[in-house]
Amino acid sequence: MKFYKNFLAFWCVIYLLIAFVGRFTSSKKEYFPFFRWSLYSKTPNSLNHAYILVDKVGDSILSKPTDIRNLKDYHHVELVDMNLIVQKFYEDVKRKADYDNHMIFNAIPKTSVFKLYETTADLSKVDYKASIKTNRVLTFKNNRFYFE
């Protein structure tokens, strides 16, 4: 029993020593997984989220704009994967990278019509829901991108 008490105390001392040394010697002020107590105070206070509303898929016109992630029966891409594709597409549009042959067009054909939206919220406010803003970034129609 004494061995286990010493074992626990030994590893606690080692953990705290590495955390303390990392605070003063590391360029990032921490060694993973030995972190500072202020770790969560460094998180961003804004939330950015992108989504795509589809008006027309191929030759089929939808009755109302539908989120591309809800069209799994058409594109057969899982929800998490489609969310990553949309986020990558949004980042490429923001960076003005080559998005003409983006992987989004593997999910829906280029004859589709869709709009890319960006939602932002300021989480530093108590009533963060009042700070939510939605902007249309671009429209894809007739095989062309139209920026807002």
Amino acid at 2: K
Does residue 45 register a pLDDT over 70?
yes
Residues 28 and 22: their CA atoms lie apart, in Å, by 8
Please indicate whether residue 112 or residue 3 has the higher confidence score (pLDDT). Answer: 112
The model's pLDDT over 116-131, given as tens digits with 9 standing for 90+, comes to 999 999 888 888 888 8
Give CA separation, 92 vs 25, 67, 86, 99, 101, in Å: 36, 19, 10, 6, 11
Give CA separation, 104 vs 78, 110, 145, in Å: 13, 9, 13
Which parts of 26-146 fold into alpha helices (H)?
A: 72-75, 79-95, 104-107
| pLDDT of 82 | 93
